[in-house]
Structure 1
């Protein structure tokens, strides 16, 4: 049995590997979850073998070695426990020529069954169509940059596929599975403007071959975006552009090693909003360099550009990122496995602020989301239908096959006046982001804004520490007994 993925799915891997062990089935674990911290994860999850970094060649050699009862230590890029002793073989070289790899066996993984179940409410940008059929499509691997909150499980060697290879596979997969949305997976899609121009030209020609609309979206860097580039992308069928903003503070951007500037962020936002393109971007608060001054810099820009629909969040120290290693050194994460399994979504105070001030920061972000995000109350909501007027262009938009349930609760068990939902959507006319919110949610939002205080965040922070120091009690230490250890 083989499985793999990212650390956020840690519990899933624990359950699957435990099941394999229960039935005495050999297991293989791969992906970022184990490549980030091999020994620690292997001891915690106990797979039979781990495939580190890129897995295409490694897993083939590993299976061949097992079949022939060969020498496991001769297989590069694996790790395992032998009588309780951790063994890791020599690192495998990155696959520099991606053309050597065969095309994915999409039918073998049952792609059609996933596509048939997709709803426009289930994923970013899927609401472009009532019956989306989106695939993530890899055109490059890794990234040249070293942002402090990021970890590259397949190494830092950036490699691109040739466009001939890309479009050969695109034509096959679109025609065979009736794909209508392509998510281009390339962290540096915009690094080469000549390549971007050729991609747009070829995609436009490819899409014209089909009797259904085929659109695409991608990630690009703010330091590479131009008006010409965005126009070419829009004309070729691009409908959404994702940026890595993270902060509008020069100080925080330097701390994050983003290699971009606030002026470049402002330019990207301005240029994108001129087009009929959806904008995806985040501001994440809580970097080591964060202060109330830097928060204000970012928040003021965010408020002035509410129409851009930029999301707000809190920075997470993902396993083996620079921030994660900092947390280990400082004792902010005392038990990494418990952190990965139970606390990865919980904010950690990485800043120089005291915990009370950091709780105030978290509270500011929460209230800003409730107060300033653009919302609209739908005119009509049924089990699979949402009708709403866009608050920007005033166009009446009908979303069919749309599941607007909130936190797995079937709102249609209640009268429509008591429905509770707050669903992010993109307008199909102007492509702006807003939230389709019920009247009950709007009331809830106002109550939270009125009654909420930073205390909830403060005590939530302290639940993962050995003791707390309340701001009004001076040096008195209150022991909580919920340390991550």
Structure 2
């Protein structure tokens, strides 16, 4: 329904659609945008009025966007519309922004998120783009809405005549506890759909409890910076209480880059959960060199059932090449200790890292089968804008495509020094097939399926492998 409300800003999140043949296509998932929710909640708490149209959470296609937007906001008064986009969704954001601008030329279009923060000048080349907010947007957007001089607002890029002006890095929020708990009523949380294999209970949603990452991996986008800002254990617990009691969520998937970044914080958080009536299940991600056996036991007691580790490679030189600052023995220790604590271990590995060879890719498969994590996640190394890898490849004219839709982990973005793209595609499929279609893995997994929900997840997960297998068969058939 249309309304005549006056909004200071309307936020739009574009829809992400995985390509055919990519494993994420078969196991599509969707959640609220924690960053956009934080922006809207913060601005509302400061006396502004905002709204969110989350096309990803609501599964609104680019074709249907303008009709849905006009139905909800056609008679509303607003000056700004903010688009939040990652690299994989920036093209969709462009399409939506152009549609808005063509109908309401006086509306000013803001862009934010990982991709615009990394390449503000590239975004501002578009006629429909007026501003780009760099990194965290709460403080900078607040100042814009208050009418401060744009040149004096840190963390913003904008056009003036034919010149693009960048005011420099944004002002970081060091204490995340100072931000209000997200107002989840701003989006339809009932639409959340978790990734297959990441949940034990339903309904499930995500939380982000930290910003920034102290790591220096060359493939990671660091648009927020390396300084780590975190929520306190009590603040995490307070937000979980809202999700648990007010919205009925029983599974939390922590989306922090490395949740176990500060041991004491996680230990205190686990104590709060253990000593409460809240019975949630949860998962998180971690580096393999941030593993403490006694903490794993406590995490298990607090409801943690899975940890995803950024393995990337089992080769010491490759790990050095991507500045991972971990060793193969760290990987073995992390996965073994995690499973010993009764927590599932998910190993994320990348193919086509600098220094990779066919022999190394074969050894990765061998090591995975030997170590036997509960789940694996495979991607082709993708230099995302904002990463050191992308900057270096751009400087040396090694980028093969700037079609941002291809930056999702299944396409070749940079020509590899040792391995052809056809071979990378082959090993992308081969790693999944050789690992998941082993009789020992199948029997072990079936043996652990002790509930209807687990059986359902297994069936969906099994079907998700099929497009990976047959996409390869189709391509080989065409070449004959």
Normalised by the length of structure 1, the TM-score is 0.73
Q: Which residue of 2 aligns with 1:304?
A: 370
Are 1:157 and 2:227 counterparts? yes
Q: Summarize the alignment of residues 252-271 of structure 1 with structure 2, pairs less than 5 Å apart.
A: 252-271=318-337
Alpha-carbon deviations, 1:452-476, whole Å to 9, x = none? Answer: 75996xx9xxxxxxxxxxxxxxxxx
Answer yes or no: is the 8 Å Cα contact 1:240–1:280 preserved in 2: yes
Q: Is the 8 A contact 2:118 2:386 kept in 1?
A: yes
How far apart are residue 140 of structure 1 and its match? 1.4
Show the counterpart of 1:91.
Answer: 169
> For 1:218 and 1:165, how far apart are their aligned partners in 2?
17
Is 1:398 aligned to 2:463, yes or no? Answer: no
Summarize the Cα distance change of 1:145–1:79 in structure 2 as closer, same or farther, 3 Å threshold.
Answer: same
What is the total number of aligned residue pairs between the two structures?
Answer: 395
SS state at 2:184 partner: coil
Aligned with 1:367 (options 414, 421, 430): 430
Offset, 1:436: 5.0
Matched, 1:48 2:136: no
SS in 1 for 2:182: coil
- Residues 343-394 of structure 1, C-alpha deviation per residue, up to 9 Å, x if partnerless? 6542135432163xx5334313323322431489xxxxxxxxxxx9874416
Say whether 1:128 aligns with 2:200. Answer: yes
1:18 aligns with 2:98: yes
Higher relative contact order (CA 8 A, sep 6+): 2
Map of 2:9 onto structure 1 = none
**Cα distance in 1, alignment partners of residues 347 and 156 from structure 2:** 36
What is the CA–CA distance in structure 2 between the aligned matches of 1:272 and 1:176, rounded to whole Å?
A: 32
Cα deviations across residues 252-308 of structure 1 (Å, max 9, x unaligned)? 100111111101101112122224322222110101111223223312101223453
Selected match of 2:152 from 74, 77, 92: 74
The answer to whether the 8 Å contact 1:78/1:88 transfers is yes
Q: TM-score, normalised by structure 2?
A: 0.74
Deviation at 1:33, TM superposition (A): 1.6
- SS, match of residue 284 in structure 1: strand
What's the CA shift for 1:102?
Answer: 2.3
Structure 1 residue 177, shift from structure 2 partner: 1.0
Work out the CA distance in 2 between the residues paired with 1:318 and 1:87. Answer: 23
Q: Residues 224 and 335 from structure 1, CA distance in 2 versus in 1: closer, same or farther, beyond 3 angstroms?
A: closer
Q: For 1:25-424, list aligned pairs within 5 A.
A: 25-44=107-126, 46-65=128-147, 70-107=148-185, 109-110=186-187, 113-115=188-190, 117-119=191-193, 122-125=194-197, 127-129=199-201, 132-206=202-276, 208=277, 210=278, 213-306=279-372, 308-333=374-399, 336=402, 339-342=403-406, 345-353=410-418, 355=420, 358-374=421-437, 391-393=445-447, 395=449, 397-399=451-453, 423-424=460-461
Q: C-alpha distance in 2, partners of 1:447/1:371?
A: 16
> What are structure 1's unaligned runs of at least 5 residues?
377-387, 405-421, 425-434, 460-485
In the alignment, is the contact (CA less than 8 A) between 2:83 and 2:111 conserved in 1? Answer: yes
Q: 2:311–2:349: 8 Å Cα contact kept in structure 1? A: yes
Q: Give yes or no for contact 1:58–1:76 (8 Å, CA) kept in 2.
A: yes
CA change 1:297–1:401 in 2 (3 A) is closer
User: 2:244, 2:250 within 8 Å by CA — same for their partners in 1?
Assistant: yes
Secondary structure in structure 2 of the residue aligned to 1:317: coil
Q: Cα offset for 1:237?
A: 0.7
